[in-house]
Amino acid sequence: MRLLYGDRSEHLGVVAAAIGRDADVVDLCCGDCALAPFVLAHGCTYRGYDVNRTFVEHGRRLGLETYVLDVRAEDLPAGDVLSLVGSLYQFIPDDRRLVDRMLHSAKHAVVVSEPVVNWQSSKLPVARSLAQRLTRVDGRAFPYRHTEQTLRDLLAGLPKDAVALRRAGRDLVIAIDSARAGS
């Protein structure tokens, strides 16, 4: 993940700011739990969930609450804020369904951060190939990535006053107020 994204501290700081203070954070597809120190510094509690047992064990070695969860097949845990950082592409074409499920489980908000500038769409074949290999999950490849426009399209139908968007480097950070979104 560090190879693909480099230093993520500024970006994760923006995500943590969107989450806010003193929230019970459920981090779906938590990966290496890079978000945890940022939300913990804001007085939040943190629970990470991932289908990859290696990531879950890594989180536990860090002293974090991490659990195995297949987001595609299992119910989502409830929390004040449900977050998804850099993994929404894995759910295309069912990504809107996942956002709706997250809204249903979130007491206050859903925060999604997704790259809109991707190595996967690079004109350099070596960069594309490397990105495809490094972003496999359970042997599955994901040929599609979001752009800023496809993410905006994904949010169509949600009340405009429920959604806040902010660019953070290569990512678009989306914060959705679950009460205003009607979930």
DSSP-assigned letter for residue 137: B
pLDDT tens sequence across 86-126: 899 889 999 999 999 999 999 999 999 998 865 555 565 66
Q: How far apart are CA 174 and CA 151, in angstroms?
A: 9
Using the predicted structure, report yes or no on whether residue 135 has a pLDDT greater than 90. Answer: no
pLDDT tens sequence across 6-28: 557 888 999 999 999 999 999 99
Using the predicted structure, report yes or no on whether residue 2 has a pLDDT greater than 50. Answer: no
- State both tokens at 90: 């894995």
Average pLDDT over every residue of 49-76:
97
Q: What pLDDT is stored for residue 134 in this prediction?
A: 54
Q: Quick one: which of 183, 178, 181, 180 has its CA closest to 81? A: 178
pLDDT tens sequence across 152-162: 999 998 999 99
Average pLDDT over every residue of 147-169:
93
Q: Give pTM, 2 decimals.
A: 0.84
With tokens 């989306």, the residue in question is 174
Domains in the chain, ordered, with CATH? 2-177 (3.40.50.150)
Q: What pLDDT is stored for residue 3 in this prediction?
A: 43
